[in-house]
Amino acid sequence: MQVYLVGGAVRDHLLGYPYHEKDYVVVGATPDQLLALGYQPVGKDFPVFLHPESKDEYALARTERKSGQGYHGFEFHTDPNVTLEEDLIRRDLTINAIAMDHNGNIYDPYSGQQDLKNKVLRHVSNAFIEDPLRVLRIARFAARYKAIGFTVAPETLILMQQLTESGELNALTPERVWKETSRALMEKHADEYFEVLRTCGALKVLFPEIDALYGIPQRPEYHPEIDCGIHTMMSVQQACAANYSLEVRFAVLLHDLGKALTPKSELPRHIMHEERGIQLVINVCDRLKVPTNTKQLALSVCKEHLKCHQALQLKPGTLWRLLQRLDVLRRPERVEAFIQACECDARGRLGLENRDYPQAKFMLDAMKIVRQIKAQDLPIEIRGPEIGELLIKKRIDALTQFKKQTEIEPNCSNS
């Protein structure tokens, strides 16, 4: 029985890139042998075991054969006679088909180290085309390693295009698409994930609402980058650079979907694009089974981002109602996330990436002011419905006073 560290841990070890998970492949063993050593079985499709102490995953060396459609359409064969080379050839990329034994010896039958050196994401074999999930994985790796210069090999992009055109992407479950997309959004260059998907045609299949933004013009005085798709990716990159949460990054991704529905006669203006985008955001979230909190923030940003840009000019009552819709009293963290997303929108514009956004501090200060006014501070004789009415009045009065003390000129467009 021989044990090898494989996959991402070896790849990132050789790159000097941080990693946390370790996966192992076991050659020359049977399930009974691992069970006798105390390993715990967890695999459903093929034998995978957890180490009795470290809980790392150990999979028996295996081969696979395409037997159906989609990610699960495979038959797996494990046997003590399956070699390390046979196991590694079924993997997606050459840089993921490298193994290392316990002495640190490297086994690289498919030139993965050369592709690491050349910074190329290249498929191991033509069996790549059998698994539609690999389109998303390669796009995610492109996002992860963009900062150090990695690109997708042209011949691999061709296979990704063929996979897209085959209709296999439709067999991916919403859960798998969301898992890969959410992981990609948390990379430093999440925009590259969507750019690679667009290059191979997968964006139009999996995210048609985002793909539709490309080629839609905006007013150049507010959006020097002009193209709505480019603006969306620039805004996403702002969220990545600021290391914002997944919820913020996803909300930024969807904030302008309504611009794809603007009548051509109104272009390059986008009147009412917030309202037009609401159903599109719902469609994306429901299709991917996005978590509720993530969906709610995305909807709030889609509906209200122009109000945030206009915050310095809003009347106190309008400002209060905006904060109220954002659930300021129960969910201050959502208000903060909303502001972060709106700031990314404001800065996701060509040449304006470092612009000031005083609306952020203004909104945060306004949030603190209204949250400081509580029912227990009201006169004791106030009862029933009068409590709510007086609280609203006091909060609006406090915002009125706050606005009088705030003399900041706005610098953000209403688009």
**For residues 388 and 404, what is the distance between their CA atoms, to the nearest angstrom?**
25
18 lies in some domain: yes
Contact 196, 310 (CB under 8 A): no
Residue 65 β-bridge partners:
75
Residue 22 maps to which CATH number? 3.30.460.10
Q: Name the residue among 353, 350, 363 with its Cα closest to residue 301.
A: 363
The radius of gyration of the chain's CA atoms, rounded to the nearest angstrom, is 26
pLDDT tens readout for residues 336-355? 999 999 999 999 999 999 99
Return the SS3 of 187: coil
Do 262 and 387 reside in the same domain of the chain? yes
Do 281 and 379 reside in the same domain of the chain? yes
pLDDT tens readout for residues 137-196? 999 999 999 999 999 999 999 999 999 999 999 999 999 999 999 999 999 999 999 999
Instruction: Assess whether pLDDT exceeds 60 at residue 414.
Output: no
pLDDT tens readout for residues 32-51? 999 999 999 986 666 899 99
Q: Round the average pLDDT of the chain to a whole number and report it.
A: 92
**For residues 152 and 372, what is the distance between their CA atoms, to the nearest angstrom?**
53
Give percent of the chain with pLDDT exceeding 90: 83
Which residues touch 55 (CB under 8 Å, ≥6 apart)?
A: none
187 lies in some domain: no
Check residue 123 and report its DSSP letter. Answer: B
> Domain end: 118, 151, 176, which one?
118
Number of domains in the chain: 2
Return the SS3 of 394: helix
Reported confidence tier of residue 412, pLDDT bands at 50, 70, 90: low
Do 90 and 236 reside in the same domain of the chain? no
> Domain end: 59, 92, 118, which one?
118
Q: Name the residue among 131, 140, 110, 132 with its Cα closest to residue 122.
A: 110
20 lies in some domain: yes
> Domain end: 118, 140, 155, which one?
118
Do 95 and 213 reside in the same domain of the chain? no
Do 114 and 215 reside in the same domain of the chain? no
Instruction: Assess whether pLDDT exceeds 70 at residue 292.
Output: yes
Q: How many degrees, rounded to 5, is the angle at CA 347 between CA 341 and CA 353? A: 140
pLDDT of residue 376: 65
Residues 251-273, mean pLDDT to the nearest whole number = 97
Instruction: Assess whether pLDDT exceeds 90 at residue 406.
Output: no
Residue 271 maps to which CATH number? 1.10.3210
172 lies in some domain: no
- Domain containing residue 287: 207-405
Do 221 and 344 reside in the same domain of the chain? yes
- 299 to 119, 320, 362, 391: CA distances (angstroms): 38, 19, 22, 27
| Phi, psi dihedrals of residue 52, rounded to the nearest 5° | -60, -25
191 lies in some domain: no
291 lies in some domain: yes
Residues 396-404, mean pLDDT to the nearest whole number = 94
